[in-house]
Structure 1
């Protein structure tokens, strides 16, 4: 059995419960402190690191009598950080306890000021909890290094889940009684993830329906921005290869679209739209106009879109290659007159739903934008 001292995010007991897979009532937890050490923020990150520092005190918790399985689950969750364990004496109200402390590799991160659990809980705990749920769902099925390689998309999906939970509830329904979940499964995880659920939902006659098995593709929350020059009355489109279109058997998998991309954790939709315009088209936007917020395909995907029209001076823009090589993007851009844009909508030339949606929004507001 092992005693462990926690000084960072795992002092958040719901996260510890998620990682260990059992409730806190089954754990022997006590407040503790480690003298001669400090818990510091890591530059550019939300988690802390511990370092030896004479005269300082690292506050945390000690959890006693953890099993080999508990330690294995903790190492799996922290698998991307390669922490080493050191036994040290920590103080508790019950006296001194020898506990293992996870230390990062010396010099791995730049340490800044003091890290405070309460600040982290307010700002980051919900997203970290959502990410931990996905990570631990793969315990025993995927290697820790495979999970570590996918931290970025995992966090993007977790961020999107937090944002989804902040949307306006349905005033006519109570999810605690109108949806009954029998089982949840994580079926696939890579850049995207696929999850399954067995559930019942309240039907319109008031009864609970039969148990149904349903799946959903988890992508994240995204932005779509159609750059428009109201002086020259033209838009900018980008073309790129789309593997799902190819996989569907479509003989034309290169698709013309607006600029688009996933929102990174900590980004606003507006910040993501401006970043994607730079990355995909080398374009600086003057102004962003909201053009709708919606799910892209409610029957199969959790993806939520923030649509924008991006006002810009396109006079000096020339067709160019864009995209991030590290993300496998190979993108070219093109200017299209407004008349050709709408002609393409009417003739079914455009096959990207966000392009058609933003084009129709632009058609409705174009005169106002040109007069302004």
Structure 2
């Protein structure tokens, strides 16, 4: 059996419970501290690092009696991020205790301000719990390094799940009564994931339906913005190769779209829309007009779209090509609003967010132009 000292996010009881695979009441926890050390944020990251600092005292907790199986789960969760176990001597209410601690060299991560467990839990606790559920579902299938490579996508999906739970419940139905779900399975996870579940749902006649197998492509949240210059009455579109269109067998997988991109964890949709406009087209958005907040395909995907029309000026230099993500190859085009709508009416566009934002713009264009 092994005793570990935890100084950071695993002090959050729900997170530690997920990683160890058992309830908090089954975990032997004692408050403890590590002298001459301090816990800091990793700069620009939602997790901490512990560093040697004379006269400081890092608050934490001692978890006693961890088994070999416990250590394997903890190494899986921590190992891909440069953390490894080192011996430490901590203080508890009963004196000094020898233990081990997951530690990363300071050179591994840039050090930021002093870290606060309460501040972290308020902003990142729920997202980290969701991410840990996905990570630990892959225990025994992936290596810690596999997790680290894909962790940004895992955390992006986790943030989307947390955001989805904030939606208004159906006033006519009770999920706890009307949906009976078995274990969720994750047969595939990479940039996107595939989640599968066996469930039964109460039918409209009041009876419970049969057990069925259902799956969804788990994506995240995305911001979509159609840049529009009301003075020039022009829009900007981007074109890029889309692998799903190619995999569908479509002979023309280069698709014209609005500017779009996935939200980073903790990022709001407006910030993401402005960021993507700058990255993909090199333009700045003056004002965002909300169009809709919708699921892109409720029968197959969890992707949730924040749709905007972005008021901008298209009389200056615009990047002919753009994109910052690996593999992105984007070109831009500026065209008059009338040409955009003619092409929509002719069925020449195949991207649903483009058609949706174009039709919204057709409805509100007069208002936007009269405000000049």
What TM-score results when the alignment is normalised by the length of structure 2? 0.96
Return the alpha-carbon distance in structure 1 between the equivalents of residues 51 and 231 of structure 2. 58
Residue 23 of structure 1 corresponds to: 23
Offset from partner CA, 1:61-104 (integer Å, 9 cap, x none): 11111111111111111122222322222222344322101221
What is the 5 A alignment of 1:1-372?
Answer: 1-317=1-317, 320-324=320-324, 326-372=325-371
SS at match of 1:284: coil
Return the alpha-carbon distance in structure 1 between the equivalents of residues 35 and 19 of structure 2. 27
Return the alpha-carbon distance in structure 2 between the equivalents of residues 106 and 228 of structure 1. 46
**What displacement does 1:306 show?**
0.5
Return the alpha-carbon distance in structure 1 between the equivalents of residues 52 and 334 of structure 2. 58
Return the alpha-carbon distance in structure 1 between the equivalents of residues 231 and 37 of structure 2. 62
Return the alpha-carbon distance in structure 1 between the equivalents of residues 263 and 288 of structure 2. 16
**Conserved in 1, the CA contact under 8 Å of 2:282 and 2:318?**
no
User: What root-mean-square deviation, in Å, do the aligned CA atoms of Structure 1 and Structure 2 show?
Assistant: 1.4
Offset from partner CA, 1:164-188 (integer Å, 9 cap, x none): 1111121222212221111210110
What TM-score results when the alignment is normalised by the length of structure 1? 0.96
Offset from partner CA, 1:303-323 (integer Å, 9 cap, x none): 000000011111234560111
Kindly report structure 1 stretches of 4+ aligned residues shifted beyond 4 Å: none
Return the alpha-carbon distance in structure 1 between the equivalents of residues 109 and 22 of structure 2. 31
Residues 319/50 of structure 1: CA separation in 2 closer, same or farther (3 Å cut): closer
**Conserved in 2, the CA contact under 8 Å of 1:2 and 1:99?**
yes
Runs of 5+ unmatched residues, structure 2? none
**Conserved in 1, the CA contact under 8 Å of 2:281 and 2:318?**
no
Return the alpha-carbon distance in structure 2 between the equivalents of residues 253 and 49 of structure 1. 45
Residues 54/313 of structure 1: CA separation in 2 closer, same or farther (3 Å cut): closer
**Conserved in 1, the CA contact under 8 Å of 2:200 and 2:212?**
yes
Residues 75/287 of structure 1: CA separation in 2 closer, same or farther (3 Å cut): same
**What displacement does 1:20 show?**
0.9
Return the alpha-carbon distance in structure 1 between the equivalents of residues 318 and 278 of structure 2. 14
